[in-house]
Structure 1
Amino acid sequence: MNVRRSAAALAAVVALGTAAAPAALADDAEPSPSAALPSGLYGKGDPTFDGVFRQSYALLAQDATGVKPAAKAVDWLTGQQCASGGFAAYRADAEEPCAAKTPVDSNSTAAAVQALAALGGQKKTVDKAVSWLKSVQNQDGGWGYNPGRPSDANSTGIVIGALAAAGAKPQAVKSQQGKSPYDALPKLALDCATDGGAFGLADAKSGKLTANADATAAGVLGGLGKGLVVTAPKEGAKAPKCAPADSAEQAAANGTGYLLKALGKSGHLTSSLPGSEDKPDVGNTADAVVALAAAGQTEQAEKSAKWLAENSAAWARQSGPAAYAQLIFAAHATGMDPRDFGGADLVKQLNATGPAPQAVEDVKKDEDDKDAKDDDGGVSVWWIVGVGLVAGAGIGFLLSGRNKKNQGA
């Protein structure tokens, strides 16, 4: 099945829900944006549902590897901000003011904050975005994907990372009822005995939380107060014991144990679609590597990062700039060289998906890699199906390659 889909197909998935997902994805048509893509945008695929997210990931990954992004790439991202401070997934005409119905969301906004805070020189934009995030905080202390949606671990985790990146103390960001995101996270964690201490993702129909590896990775990072770019501690930590999640710290420890078990045998996570065989889930594995490294589980994080280095090339080419960024984050977190990741120069590949950077660290490049410009920069089939599966329940990270129904093993 072709992994690239039109915006219309994605809209059909969201509108029709879980049962309609396979049928909605049957069309193999290429995405065909109605207008030429902005020259400052990374990726060549339809940006309707992931433009700000993939741009933010690309810029953050460049900064983490010593690359100074093109000015127009940064300008494109800052130009996407609404007057309220929030970011939508993509605004084709940024000159047109945002309306009341413009779908601003916590995930796009938090990703933009992490990128712009890292780059520096964007304090006004960052502060405005943080103010918006604070204004849409749920009473339980967490965040949903859109304002008004129930809190979920994915959204709450990435917002915590944004707050930390911007210099705010997440524990001090409280709702009108006095709840911080660290009050929300334990409520999104599942029981040790039945679900291994994972963080849950709400089922689209029942709203019941089910164990989810991607939500768990986000919850672990959030519980640790970390963003997407982490450096593992020099000394590894002992495997945590699962206990009642009476604090965000314990919930993060429980989630860490869940990820250790899920990755332990094969080194990677798996995902599946209804009626299909399980297959390796590269994107969620990369997220889990970052979370485990942040938690001090260096041995398993390194093992899984090595699996990624050997098995991620095709997935990254299909999925585009955000995928290259995910792999760079995983390499960075485990001390691996993103410029020689299983023989691939991830930095060069990422840079090739958008405008040429202003400056790149003087390091040896992989001149033999001829596939750097073959990505489509679009939304993968796994992400699209994930949207359909959790429509109406909050979709968490908007990112190519993420399967929202991943059960982690």
Structure 2
Amino acid sequence: MLTAARTGAAVLSALLLAGAGAAPALADSPSPTATVAVPAGLYGQGDPTYDGVWRQSLALAALAGVHAVPADSAVGWLTGQQCADGGWPSFRPDTAVPCDAPTEDSNATAVAVQALAALGGHQDAVDKGVAWLKANQNADGSWAYNPGSPGDANSTGLTVTALLAAKADPATVAKAGRSGYDGLALFQLGCASPAEQRGAFAYQPDPAGALAANALASSQAALAAAGGRLPVVNTNQVDAAAKALACTAGAAAQPVARADSAEAAAAYLAGQLAAGDQHLMLTLPGATPTPDYTATAWAALSLIQSGHAKQAVGAVDWLAAQGGTWTKGGTDASATATLVLVAQAAQRDPAAFGGTNLLQQLTAAGPALKSAPASPAATAAAKDDKGGVSTLWVIGVGLLIGIGGGLLLSLQRRRGNRDAAGKPGR
């Protein structure tokens, strides 16, 4: 029997499914007017019923990305939402009441795992979350929003990124011999699709089994295909544009190969952004198409992760110019946190993103930080994702060596002068 909260989520999901077929988009949507008291420690002031864990996880991941230390109450709220079996629901109003297992969802669990992994120091909660994700994998390798339902690209993509964040290889996380990457491949459009749609991801197959490109599904699944997780910290650059999927005779019946998946998705997203004035659109039946801020942000993150940061520049610029509409002046914590993640991934200053101090807006939406975000220079000086050392760090070390060498030479000269004169040098 559905609870009131689950019924509400089901209605919202049905509305979205009727159009773009992207139910998990509700997790990114602005919260309704608060009918539930906003708990202490939670970011944002909207009703947390449908997005409490989601927006808190994005906020904490964004703060981790800029090397800020959030309040214990903020982290404690998120870990306190975890159920005994390791999963997270969208929101748990009374943590003294055991979780209703069918209301736990992969999206909330996946972003919570990524946030806690990024913060560090919460390995037990991360391990339990990963165990829950493994236990609720479908037999085809995919994941559903709620356990027991058919899988979808968004949930599968988010779960794969969570596994990567927790250092669990999605290629080895399998059910009935089908890995997480096999599950992701179920939703990617290949050589049987029109050329302009190849590489895209569908939310789910239609009743006849056909796949239709979906903006948010493509953007979130592409990050997983490229081996990314939140916060995106890839600094590798590919000068060439993303290569569209190459199709040969007989390839139409084959799924997109794992080796080609990320590049094909990047080519699709780059093409869609170029054709849409550097942003993606949300189209629902009977409604005027509107800019899809969420999908555009995730597309930028995915392109950066795939090494095509140059092709993400236009989308990042568009978000910088238009993002204020999405964040509603910072009152939408989920949107604000997502833009901080985009700015950080694009190596831009989130304290001056399109003339807006996103960090100030985000920190104002939650409890006071234990320590402030690092400056852009300090953030850039951090090690990259593969443990390499940044250019600024190398330059800094070089300067220190140079200064040290100069001081040593000066001391040697002064010592020579002292010895020659028979008295201390000055």
TM-score by structure 1 length?
0.79
CA contact (8 A) 1:111 1:162 kept: yes
Which amino acid in structure 2 is aligned with residue 335 of structure 1?
Answer: Q
**Residues 1:203 and 1:182: Cα distance change in structure 2 (over 3 Å):** closer
1:240 aligns to what?
Answer: 243
CA distance in 2 between counterparts of 1:37 and 1:261 reads 41
Aligned equivalents of 1:209, 1:82: Cα separation in 2: 34
Q: Which moved more, 1:352-361 or 1:190-199?
A: 190-199
Deviations 1:325-356 (A, max 9, x none): 11112112211111110111111111111111
Aligned equivalent of 1:371: none
Q: Does 1:274 align with 2:285?
A: yes
Unmatched runs of 5 consecutive residues or more in structure 2: 21-30, 377-426
Alignment of 1:100-115 (within 5 A): 100-101=101-102, 103-115=103-115
Deviation at 1:228, TM superposition (A): 2.5
Task: Please name the residue that 2:188 is paired with.
Answer: 189
Which structure has the larger Rg over C-alpha atoms? Answer: 2
Aligned to 2:267: 257
SS at match of 2:69: coil
Deviations 1:357-399 (A, max 9, x none): 11103649xxxxxxxxxxxxxxxxxxxxxxxxxxxxxxxxxxx
TM-aligned CA deviation for residue 206 of structure 1: 6.4
User: Deviation digits for residues 245-264 of structure 1, max 9, x if unmatched?
Assistant: 44223122221111011001
- Does the 8 Å contact 2:115/2:230 carry over to 1? no
Distance 1:55 1:291, change over 3 A: same
Identify if the C-alpha distance between structure 1 residues 190 and 73 changes in structure 2 by more than 3 Å, giving closer, same or farther. Answer: same
Which deviates more, 52-61 or 246-255?
Answer: 246-255
Q: Distance in 2 between matches of 1:68 and 1:16?
A: 38
Equivalent residue of 1:292, what SS?
helix
Deviation at 1:276, TM superposition (A): 3.1
Q: Is 1:13–1:20's contact at 8 Å kept on the other side of the alignment? A: no
Pair 1:334 & 2:336 matched: no
Q: Structure 2 vs 1, CA of residues 358 and 140 (structure 1 numbering), >3 Å: closer, same or farther?
A: same
Tell me, what secondary structure is at the counterpart of 1:242?
A: coil
Q: What is the correspondence of 1:181-220 to structure 2 with a 5 Å cutoff? A: 181-192=180-191, 193-194=193-194, 195-202=197-204, 208-220=210-222
Q: Does the 8 Å contact 1:41/1:76 carry over to 2?
A: yes
Work out whether 1:86 is the aligned partner of 2:87. yes
User: How far is 1:164 from its partner?
Assistant: 1.2
* 8 Å CA contact retained: 1:256, 1:292: yes
Residues 249 and 329 of structure 1: CA distance in aligned 2, closer, same or farther (over 3 Å): farther
Identity %: 43
Alignment-derived partner of residue 302 in structure 1: 313
Q: Deviations over 1:210-235 (max 9, x none)?
A: 20121112221111221122234343
Equivalent of residue 367 in structure 2, options 349, 355, 364: 355
Unpaired stretches in structure 1, ≥5 consecutive residues: 1-5, 22-28, 365-409
Count of equivalent residues? 349
SS of the counterpart of 2:212? strand
Q: 1:11 to 1:222 in 2, by over 3 A?
A: closer
Secondary structure (helix, strand or coil) at the match of 1:315 reads: helix
2:303 and 2:186 mapped to 1: Cα distance?
A: 21
Give per-residue Cα distances to partners, 1:70-108, cap 9 Å, x unaligned.
10010010001111101000010011112344x001110
Contact 1:185 1:251 in 2 (8 A): no
Q: Distance in 1 between matches of 2:18 and 2:228?
A: 36
Give the number of the structure whose residues are more often helix, by fraction: 2
Given candidates 326, 330, 339, the residue that maps to 1:315 is 326
Would the aligned equivalents of 1:136 and 1:147 in 2 still touch at CA under 8 Å?
A: yes
- Please state whether the residue corresponding to 2:243 is helix, strand or coil: coil
> Structure 1's 64 and 362: CA in aligned 2 closer, same or farther, altered over 3 A?
closer
Asked if structure 2 preserves the Cα contact closer than 8 Å seen for 1:7 and 1:46, the reply is: no
- Contact 2:202–2:211 at 8 Å: present in 1 too? yes
How far the C-alpha of 1:124 sits from its partner, in A, is 0.9
Which of 1 and 2 has higher RCO (CA within 8 Å, sep 6+)?
1
